[in-house]
Chains A and B, each alone.
Chain A
Amino acid sequence: MDATTAAAELAALDANRAALSERVVQPWWYDALLGLLIAGFISSYSSHNTWVILIALVVFLAGVRALIAVYRRITGLWVNGFRPGRTRRAIHVFFVVYAVVLGAAAAFEFLLDVRGAMVVGGVVLGIAVAVISHWWTRIYVAELRGER
């Protein structure tokens, strides 16, 4: 194979990935619903009731499952959020925010007995997840477009 053919094949690959980048972006409400599901589940801990928390967990898992199905239906593909690459930055930030916010909210709710702290933590985490999910997609799109 000569250099011209190889260059043409690489260019075609780049063009295909750039075209794919337009397909992978989720609608805004996807991030909003994901944030809402997280907020709802975390907030349920403020009830101090095992049944409420279990029901919230079931709703959360069913909601996430439905969101995945909707994303697959819209885009025709699935990408693991924990994939290797530059998107890991967003995942690392998510874990730090998750640990800090959840730790603080749980400490206030269960150690200092501040009722409703988990609701505040849930809302903060829900907003954080929505923002980080959107940021993750932007990083992924930039990667597909070959941007640095």
Chain B
Amino acid sequence: MTRVCVAGAGAIGSLLAGHLARVADVSVLTRRPEHAAALERAGLRVSGRSDFTARVAASDDPASLPPADLVILACKGTDLETLSSRLEGHFPSATVMTVQNGLGAEEIAGAHGDWPLLSAVTFMSGTRHGDTHVEYVLDTATWIGPYRGTTGDDARSAASLIASSGLAAEGFDDLRPAQWSKLIFNATVNGVAALTELPHDFHFAEVDDDAALGLLVRDLVDEGKATAAAAGVALREDPWEMNVLATRRGHRHFPSMLEDVKAKRPTEVELINGSLVREARRLGVSVPLHTAIYRLVKAKEASYTS
């Protein structure tokens, strides 16, 4: 795999495109033509944990991009349907990889073409400082697994390409243990952060008084674990431990749903919390606390309009 198209150039897409351009021919599909023009003109600068400027091809029209072996859909979950429909009929020989939070991204993408599909979750993070500059903040891994018409070897091969570009990545025969670990972590941390407007900090691990936030976080994680168990998924990591470790990193992380509610933007609550609640219902697992968080975040989104 040496030709990669990164579709969607937010923070995650920019980090992938910039790094991969060092080891592959990278094109970037943008939403806005001026974004593509800026990338073609100035390249893509990566700062923070990496420091370089990469040359990339870019366009807002998939038809004018070169063929690719791997297409990475790197938009937010709320934009995935629109992005996938733009790709319909394009990149016939490519494998398509989703990296969205939550569950169900593969089905959304797969409905728009018969590409082989890889499924991924990413824990890295970055901050966009404009159309042509992204800061690499958290160097945690991207995990990849087979989904439709692909194998663990395909996942490992995509992971080794990404790893060779300077990002952390690992491929698996079955992504679900990792995907569910992240789903439970995300539904819990993003939901609580969106409602309290606290960044993911030490409060999330506090369990030492009656109203401590960590008690709620732990209860939410336990509901998630019960759902995963009912789905027959053995979690790769304990989401509670992931939470505790993350709060000890020494800096405060602002989860995306917190950023979204502060900016009064739609959040990924449907893909993250909604999919967990729906899976639990389908499996007959009672998740009253996740249901409450899901309803409250949906209602908070509704409050943007009076």
- The answer to whether A and B assemble together is no
